[in-house]
Amino acid sequence: MSPLFQKPISRRSALSIAGGLALAGTGLQASTAAAEGGRALPAPALDEPAGQASSEVAVFAGGCFWGVQGVFQHVEGVTNAVSGYAGGERATAQYEKVTSGRTGHAEAVRVTYDPRKISYGRLMQIYFSVAHDPTELNRQGPDIGTQYRSTIFPTNAEQARLAKAYIAQLNQARAFRSAIVTTIEPDRPFYAAEAYHQDYLTRNPTAPYIVINDLPKIEDLKRHFPGVYRSTPVLVATAGVSN
């Protein structure tokens, strides 16, 4: 069986397919993973100051990297978004090993962005608002395990400080019905995922898992953040894996 068909099975796609069949006569509804996150949350009270750098990197994990990558690929100011793994060792940064839930890795997305066009705080706002549900512990929708945890992997001390402050701000404001469980894990290398995982949402827009779990996130981004939404995504196939 080709890798493109192995992934949905490992993600309990049978649940998504069954749900899709049940919804066939009534129209698609937002996925479980997006149920809490489809909203425009307040912007961070603290954000990075405008600088002269033309490129910076942020790393976010929020369940299946297909959807998280797809969201950030549609954000203006993002120059690349690569699916991969963070939290574990290089030797175990392979999909077949990460799916065991025993490697320490989370499926993550490395976002390269132009801070002159979009800030780190704005990226976090999108991450918490529409890219995933930050109140689900070690899972997102049908995907269960620590490899699907909600985690920010800051690439420097300032990002860690801003992430901690924003989580505290959202919890204090009771932005969600439950407390945010997102962890902050600094000093964790990122490793790009296999080629067949890159640009998966764009290449497989009719796959049941994508239709039910991830396309609603793109619609939420378009609806809640029209000022930064772009219809044509930036793709790894064009930008390349390296930053």
Q: Which residue has the tokens 């395990």?
A: 145
pLDDT value for 69: 98
3-state secondary structure of 65: helix
Q: How confident is the model at residue 26 (pLDDT cuts 50, 70, 90)?
A: very low
Question: Could you say which architecture CATH assigns to the domain 3-41+53-236?
Answer: 2-Layer Sandwich (3.30)
Q: Which residue has the tokens 């068909």?
A: 5
Instruction: Say if CB 111 and CB 81 are below 8 A apart.
Output: yes
For residues 80-89, average pLDDT? 98
Q: What is the rounded CA–CA span in Å between residue 145 and residue 138?
A: 5
pLDDT tens, position by position, 48-65: 887 778 999 999 999 999
pLDDT tens, position by position, 150-164: 999 999 999 999 999
**CB atoms inside a 10 Å sphere around CB 15:** 17
pLDDT at 32 over 70: no
Q: What are phi and psi of 98, to 5 degrees?
A: -60, -35
For residues 5-30, average pLDDT? 41
Residue-range domain boundaries for the chain: 3-41+53-236
pLDDT at 133 over 60: yes
> Is 64 known to be catalytic?
yes
pLDDT at 108 over 90: yes
Q: What is the rounded CA–CA span in Å between residue 99 and residue 10?
A: 8
pLDDT value for 39: 87
> What average pLDDT is seen over the chain?
88
Percent of the chain with pLDDT over 70: 84
Q: Give the active site residue among 33, 34, 59, 64.
A: 64
Which residue from 112, 150, 137 is spatially nearest to 241, judged by alpha carbons? 112
Which residue from 91, 99, 66 is spatially nearest to 207, judged by alpha carbons? 66
